[in-house]
Amino acid sequence: MRKYLFICKATLMESLQYVMNIALGFISFFMMVFVFINLWNYIYSDPSKLISGYSRGQMIWYVILTEILWYGTRNRTLTVQISDDIKSGTIAYGLNKPYHYIVYIIAKHIGEIALKFVLFLGAGLVIGLIFVGPIRDFSPLRLPLILLSLLLGILINSFIRMAISVLSFWIEDCFPFHWIYDKLLILVGIMFPVEVFPQWAQPIIRCSPIYVVSYGPAKLVIDYNYSTALEILLAQLIYLAVSFILLMLFYQKGVKRVNVNGG
């Protein structure tokens, strides 16, 4: 375990050298949030109106939080690096090293996004406070559960992305599958809370990974109640186990197909 912590720490230290690059990424983030603030302001022409049980402030905070999760955890290591390692055969170098390739990638990923996520969280909170004001009925006592839910959401998202990238053992280009996952996440999880969707679609979304990756953590921040928190955390734990098992299964099966021809 210590070696993975070391990898994580080393990557974190490396990312500290590129704070400026991360800060420039705020421009896209800010613009996206800004577009949504304008969009929701337009739709909530009457500020006291409720849409699917959400006020204007809650709806905008929901988008800000899910966008933080989206921008703050995006990382090419989980997508491009794994695929490239498999396609180019570089993965063979990782197989004889004294670490497990998948755990190594997870440690590296966490090291890479830790600083980025904290910075985006800070920026998002500032934007939210300026444009919308404080979150209604928010209590700091809920923070431990919210942070746990955020962490679980980030881990599940990472496992799913890695499982998709590992498909490169069988197909040359797995990016179309990443696109589909990204689109599902953006459309169903980031832009709208589940309650905005038609009644018939809600149970399907609640069973999908979107519910635990983006809706769950954001919901706990903007509209907390004890039973919802338990439901979300339980669903996250189930998804965490299932996605990790699937990832390892794909990897174990795929890695047997590696064929190294010297050079």
81 burial level (CB within 10 Å; 0-12, 13-18, 19+): middle
Minimal distance, residue 35 CB to another protein, in Å: 6
Contacts of residue 27, defined as CB under 8 A and 6 or more positions apart, other chains included, come to none
- Measured N-to-C along each axis, helices 143-166 and 101-131 cross at an angle, to the nearest 10 degrees, of 130
Q: Give CA 251 to chain center in angstroms.
A: 21
Name which of 192 and 215 has its Cβ closer to another protein.
192
Minimal distance, residue 205 CB to another protein, in Å: 12
The identity of residue 35, as a single letter, is V
Name which of 13 and 35 has its Cβ closer to another protein.
35
Backbone φ, ψ for residue 239 (5° rounding)? -65, -35
DSSP letters spanning 144-201: HHHHHHHHHHHHHHHHHHHHHHHGGGTSS--HHHHHHHHHHIIIIIISS-GGGS-GGG
Minimal distance, residue 233 CB to another protein, in Å: 27
Minimal distance, residue 25 CB to another protein, in Å: 7
Name which of 40 and 251 has its Cβ closer to another protein.
40
- Report how far residue 79's alpha carbon sits from residue 73's, in angstroms, rounded to the nearest whole number: 12
Minimal distance, residue 184 CB to another protein, in Å: 8
Name which of 107 and 193 has its Cβ closer to another protein.
193
Minimal distance, residue 228 CB to another protein, in Å: 22
Residue 223: count other Cβ atoms within 10 Å of its Cβ: 19
Name which of 36 and 244 has its Cβ closer to another protein.
36
Nearest to 155 by CA among 86, 241, 250: 241
Residues that bind another protein (CB under 8 A): 20-21, 24-25, 27-28, 31-32, 35, 38-39, 41-43, 45, 51, 172-173, 175-176, 179-180, 183, 187, 191-192, 196-198
Name which of 143 and 180 has its Cβ closer to another protein.
180
What 8-state DSSP symbol labels residue 17?
G
Name which of 87 and 100 has its Cβ closer to another protein.
87
Minimal distance, residue 171 CB to another protein, in Å: 9
